[in-house]
Amino acid sequence: DALKRLITVLASATTEMSKQNTDLSHKLAQSSQEMEKLRTSLRRARAEALTDALTGIANRKLFDETLRLRKEEADNEKTDLALLLCDIDHFKSFNDTWGHQTGDQVIRFVASALTKFALPDHLVARYGGEEFAVIMPRTTLKDAGRIADQIRSAIEAKRLVRRSTNETIGAVTVSFGAAMYAAGETVGQLITRADECLYMSKRNGRNRVTLETQMPPLATNAA
């Protein structure tokens, strides 16, 4: 009888332990699922924080972070780093004529064209308003200019249609400025030189690419 009671107690304890282990396994699995959901939510939140809501490309914050990191990389590895700045020509007038929704359509179209021609390690970002930037590691100024001109030509060749009414909007053009990172300078100095090249493209009639090597002497001071 004592042996039977012992066996019964052990069996009961084993059953209870098995149940506890099963419950613990379920809780661990549930906890693991909740942790994965949390990680996914955090990844999504970070992606949203670094992405432009209208276009889906990088926003200004991610641009600033990436340019700083690419500058350090260029310094450490002695590699090329080019920067393109791009602006939609006469965008304010276009927006006033066709409205903000159509203006947003054009911004998305330009962002798509930039992304299509950029190389895999390039970063395309919305710099602000109708202005975009492309960070181009391991890219020469000549290649940066070639890519910019491909983008410019593709955008100019497209005839846009207003989605809400199917009206033909016509062609949109963009202007570019391109500069190369010079060892030891700040990212602000690089951006300023690219912006001066963009300004020169606009001053010379827009719908063109200006490389910093094409800038006239003392153009920086004059600007």
Residues acting as catalytic residues? 130
Rounded Cα gap, residues 192 and 197, in angstroms: 9
DSSP state of 129: T
Residue 161: closest CA among 88, 90, 109: 109
Rounded Cα gap, residues 108 and 15, in angstroms: 63
The dihedrals phi and psi of 160, each to the nearest 5 degrees, come to -85, 150
Distance in Å from the first CA to the final CA of the chain: 104
Alpha helices (runs of H) in 54-206, residue ranges in sequence order: 60-77, 91-98, 100-117, 141-157, 187-203
- Laid out side by side, the sheet with 81-88 consists of 123-128, 131-137, 81-88, 174-180, 209-211
Residue with tokens 């179209």: 109
Contact yes or no for 167/149 (Cβ under 8 A): no
Rounded Cα gap, residues 149 and 129, in angstroms: 21
Element (H, E) at 174: strand 174-180
